[in-house]
C-alpha cells in the first residue's frame, strides 16, 4: 500500500521517542496498563512527556489540562485544515481526528483519500502506543545503569519532522509567492521572535497566526 | 491506579478532544475564500513554526550538533536528494558524531 510505505520511515523514527516515554513512565511506577491507556487516550507526544512530572506531583486536572492544551494548541488549526479527508461517520471521524499526529500531518497530502489518511494516522498511532509499552518492558528487563546514558533518543523524530516540514514547505510555496527565500526567512524570524518572547509552550497560536498573515500578504494572486 | 496518573490520562484525553476532535466534529460552513486560506496558507504557517520549534528546542539540548545536523537535513530535503531515509540518516549520523566529538 503506497500510503503505508510513505509513512513507514516516520513511524520507525518515532519508536525511540515512544520507548523513552515507556521507560520514563515505568521508572515513575506506571503500570503497563497505564502506559497503554496513556498512549491510546492521550496520544499527544510532547504533552505526554510534559505531564509526567505533574502526575508524580499529583497536580490538579485543570493545571494539567491548561499546560497540555497550550503545548498542543497547534493541532487546533491543523485539525481544521484536514477535515475533508476524514471519515463521515461520527465515531470514525472522532477517532481519526484523535489519532492526528505531527508526523502524520506532515506525511499527508491534500489529495489523500479517507483510506490513505486513516492508514497514515493509524500506522503512526499504533507504532507510538505499542513502542511505549515495549519501552516499559525493556526498562523492566535491563539494569538501571544502562538507562542512565546521555544519548538523546528523541533526536531522530525531530530530524524526520524537519525533513517532512521542509518538503511540505517547498511543495506548497511553489508558484504562489514572490521572493520565496526572503518570505521563508521573514516567517522563520517571526516564529523565532514569538518563541523567544512567549516560550515554547505559548508561542504556537500567535506564531502561526502572524506567519499566516505574513504569507497572506506575500502571495502573488488570490 | 495512582490518582495523579489517572488525572494525567484524563487531562491528555480532554486535550485531544479540545484541540483535535472539536474542530472537526461540527460541520462548520466556512466561506470559500477562508477554506482556500486554510488549505494553502495555514498549513504553510504550521510547518514554518514546526521548523522554528524543532531547531530552537534541539539547540537548547546541544547547540552546534543540532544546528549542523538539522541544517543538513533541511538542505537535503530542499534539494530533494535521496528522500526521507537519506535525509534522516544524514541528520542523525552527523548529530551523534558531532555530539561525541564535542563532548
Name the average pLDDT for chain A. Answer: 87
Note the pLDDT tens digit of each residue in A37-59: 999 998 887 788 878 877 877 88
pLDDT at A144 over 80: no
The 8-class DSSP code of residue A84 comes to: G
Contacts of A15 in chain B (CB under 8 A): none
Lookup result for grid cell 521548523:
B51
Distance CA B74, CA B82 (A): 12
Q: Cα dihedral sign for B88, B94, B96, B99?
A: negative
Q: Which three cell numbers stand for residue A159?
A: 530530524
pTM: 0.76
B 49-68 near A (Cβ less than 8 A): 49-58, 61-62
Taking CB atoms and an 8 Å limit, are B42 and A167 in contact across chains? no
Chain B residue closest in CA terms to A71: B15
A177 three-class SS: strand
Question: What's residue B59's pLDDT?
Answer: 94
Taking CB atoms and an 8 Å limit, are A59 and B19 in contact across chains? no
Nearest residue, CB atoms, B52 vs list A105, A158, A188: A188
Q: Cα dihedral sign for B12, B14, B16, B18?
A: negative
Contacts of A110 in chain B (CB under 8 A): 39
Residue B56 exposed, middle or buried by CB count within 10 Å (0-12, 13-18, 19+) = middle
Note the pLDDT tens digit of each residue in A152-196: 777 887 888 898 889 889 888 887 888 889 999 999 999 999 999
Taking one residue from A and the other from B, the number of pairs with CB-CB distance under 8 angstroms is 257
Distance of CA B81 to the CA centre of its chain: 21
> What percent of chain A is predicted at pLDDT more than 70?
96
Note the pLDDT tens digit of each residue in A98-113: 999 989 999 998 889 9
Contacts of A168 in chain B (CB under 8 A): 43-44, 47
* Residue B100 CB neighbours (<10 A): 10
| Nearest chain A CA: its distance from B87 CA (Å) | 7
**What DSSP line would sit under A95-119, residue for residue?**
HHHHT--HHHHHH--TT--HHHHHH
Establish if B79 touches chain A: CB-CB under 8 angstroms. no
Residue B15 phi/psi, 5-degree rounding, is -60, -45
Taking CB atoms and an 8 Å limit, are B78 and A47 in contact across chains? no
| Nearest chain B CA: its distance from A125 CA (Å) | 13
Distance CA A203, CA A83 (A): 24
Complex-level ipTM: 0.86
Question: What's residue B30's pLDDT?
Answer: 77
Helical segments of chain A, H only: 2-13, 15-27, 32-41, 46-56, 61-71, 75-81, 90-98, 102-107, 114-141, 144-147, 155-173, 180-202, 204-218
Amino acid at each position: 500500500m503506497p500510503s503505508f510505505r510513505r509513512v513507514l520511515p516516520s513511524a520507525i523514527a518515532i519508536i525511540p521517542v515512544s520507548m523513552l516515554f515507556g521507560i520514563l513512565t515505568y521508572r515513575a511506577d506506571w503500570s503497563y496498563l497505564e502506559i497503554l491507556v496513556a498512549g491510546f487516550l492521550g496520544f499527544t507526544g510532547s504533552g505526554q512527556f510534559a505531564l509526567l512530572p505533574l502526575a508524580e506531583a499529583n497536580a490538579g486536572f485543570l493545571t494539567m489540562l491548561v499546560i497540555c492544551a497550550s503545548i498542543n494548541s497547534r493541532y487546533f488549526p491543523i485539525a481544521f485544515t484536514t477535515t475533508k479527508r476524514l471519515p463521515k461517520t461520527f465515531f470514525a471521524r472522532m477517532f481519526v481526528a484523535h489519532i492526528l499526529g505531527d508526523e502524520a500531518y506532515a506525511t499527508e497530502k491534500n489529495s489523500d483519500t479517507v483510506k490513505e489518511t486513516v492508514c497514515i494516522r493509524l500506522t503512526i498511532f499504533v507504532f507510538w502506543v505499542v513502542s511505549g509499552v515495549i519501552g516499559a518492558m525493556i526498562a523492566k528487563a535491563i539494569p538501571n545503569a544502562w538507562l542512565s546514558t546521555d544519548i538523546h533518543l528523541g533526536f531522530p523524530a525531530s530530524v524526520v519532522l524537519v525533513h517532512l516540514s521542509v518538503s511540505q514547505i517547498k511543495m506548497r510555496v511553489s508558484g504562489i509567492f514572490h521572493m520565496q527565500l526572503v518570505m521563508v526567512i521573514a516567517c522563520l524570524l517571526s516564529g523565532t521572535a514569538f518563541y523567544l518572547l512567549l516560550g515554547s509552550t505559548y508561542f504556537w497560536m500567535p506564531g502561526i497566526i502572524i506567519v499566516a498573515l505574513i504569507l497572506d500578504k506575500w502571495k502573488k494572486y488570490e | 491506579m495512582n490518582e495523579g496518573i489517572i488525572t494525567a490520562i484524563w487531562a491528555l484525553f480532554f486535550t485531544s478532544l479540545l484541540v483535535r476532535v472539536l474542530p472537526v466534529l461540527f460541520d462548520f460552513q466556512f466561506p470559500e475564500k477562508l477554506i482556500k486560506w486554510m488549505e494553502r496558507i495555514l498549513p504553510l504557517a504550521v510547518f514554518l513554526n514546526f521548523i522554528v520549534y524543532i531547531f530552537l528546542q534541539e539547540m537548547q539540548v546541544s547547540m552546534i550538533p543540532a544546528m549542523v545536523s538539522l541544517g543538513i537535513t533541511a538542505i537535503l530535503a530542499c534539494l530533494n536528494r535521496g528522500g526521507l531515509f537519506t535525509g534522516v540518516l544524514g541528520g542523525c549520523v552527523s548529530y551523534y558524531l558531532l555530539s561525541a566529538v564535542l563532548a
